Amino acid sequence: MTTRIVIDPNVCGGRPIVAGTRMRVSDVLDALASSVSVEELLEDFPYLTREDVHACLAYGARAVDHTVVQAA
């Protein structure tokens, strides 16, 4: 588990954020999904690192990797 992504109930409503910032993981993922490049993110948010962005991607991948059970 990475220490770059944290959940603090007192910050951003308890949503996952990049540690030491108020940048939500969902904001990073939304930007990437909207074709914003990693370089653009790092330029626009200089407090983020490339490793932070990769940690957000890994967090998102883990968040959707679960079994789906459908009722018959």
Residue 69 lies in a domain: no
- 53, with CB counted inside 10 A (0-12, 13-18, 19+), is buried
pTM: 0.88
Q: How far is CA 55 from the centre of its chain?
A: 7
Question: Can you tell me which residue has the tokens 């999904």?
Answer: 33
> Which pLDDT belongs to residue 48?
97
CATH number of the domain bearing residue 48: 1.10.10.10
User: Into how many domains does the chain fold?
Assistant: 1
Which domain does 33 fall in, by range?
Answer: 5-64
pLDDT digits (tens, 9 = 90+) for 43-58: 999 999 999 999 999 9
> Does 71 fall in a domain?
no
